[in-house]
Structure 1
């Protein structure tokens, strides 16, 4: 039994589900950034940009697993 993935079609161009998950992850990170700044997320890590990237990869992985 093969799982069919829903593609996004824009102007006749098919986009893979990964692209959709990537865009949703970007939106989630943009929404979370002010909250992370408020709680001092950057001060908890020596390399805040790597920690934020890791958070983005985690969110992307969770989206791919859940949907």
Structure 2
């Protein structure tokens, strides 16, 4: 039995479920940024932007797997 995915409809345009997961992951990372700043996340890595991007990709992957 195949799993059906609910598309996001905005103004009559259908968006793939990936776009919804992408938006949720972005909101989660934006909400986590103050906490990451408070614990010194940027100081743990030589290139903080790449570390934050990899955290975003990890959150996105977990959303796709768990939903």
TM-score range, shorter chain: over 0.9
Matched, 1:45 2:45: yes
Structure 1 moving runs of 4+ over 2 Å = none
Structure 2 residues without counterparts, runs of 5 or longer: none
Structure 1 residues without counterparts, runs of 5 or longer: none
CA RMSD of aligned residues (A): 0.5
How much has 1:3 moved relative to structure 2?
A: 1.1
Alpha-carbon deviations, 1:24-53, whole Å to 9, x = none? Answer: 011001100011000000000011000000
Aligned length: 67
What is the TM-score when the length of structure 1 is the normalising length?
Answer: 0.97
What is the TM-score when the length of structure 2 is the normalising length?
Answer: 0.97
